[in-house]
Amino acid sequence: MTISESLQEFYKKNNFKEDGGKNDAFFELKFKLFTLKLPNSKFRKEVIHIHDIQHVLYNCNTSWKGEAFIAGWEIGTKIWKHLPIGMMSLWAMGFSLFMYPKEVLKGYLNGINSRGIIGLKIKKLTLLKMSVSELKKRIKRNKTKKVNWFSFLFWCVLSEIIFLFPLLVMAFFFF
């Protein structure tokens, strides 16, 4: 099955539009008690297919548990080198650590042993024509890396700072 076919199946299963919402003016972040409607920026539109492909590769749903794994995986693959999408991944990791820390760790451990899709620099059309198994082979590292716990803790702390920063600013002005 091609990446394109797998993405369409993923979108259908998760009640997304055929393009995954790429062409929408806004996207939604759903939480238990509320939903945030945020502008769908140009940089997000350019890379959202990569994020969605990661969900397909690891069979992760779009719940926060699935997003926790993907956020950990993205940080493990060094997506933070690609700003501003790296900041979104750090924010998601910071939020996810409160709810699904084991999934973040599992994703991170998979990520340090993978090459990030964005780092492969494959054109979108070429990527979409590839098979899922072919892409899995391309991102797999030949040598298994062991986790550097200092590095993982550094990313955890930084992700919490990024996640909590707006609250810290509001608290500063409130008090």
More confident residue, 54 or 46: 54
Picking from 20, 59, 42, 67, the residue whose alpha carbon sits closest to that of residue 163 is 67
Asked whether the predicted pLDDT for residue 19 surpasses 90, the reply is: no
More confident residue, 5 or 85: 5
Instruction: Provide the strand spans (E) within the chain.
Output: 26-30, 35-39
Helix (H) / strand (E) element for 129: namely: helix 124-129
Number of Cβ atoms within 10 Å of the Cβ of 23: 10
Mean pLDDT of 106-124: 95
First to last CA, the chain: 56
pTM for the full predicted model: 0.92
Range of the domain at 76: 3-174
* Chain CA centroid to CA 137, Å: 19
- The domain tally of the chain equals 1
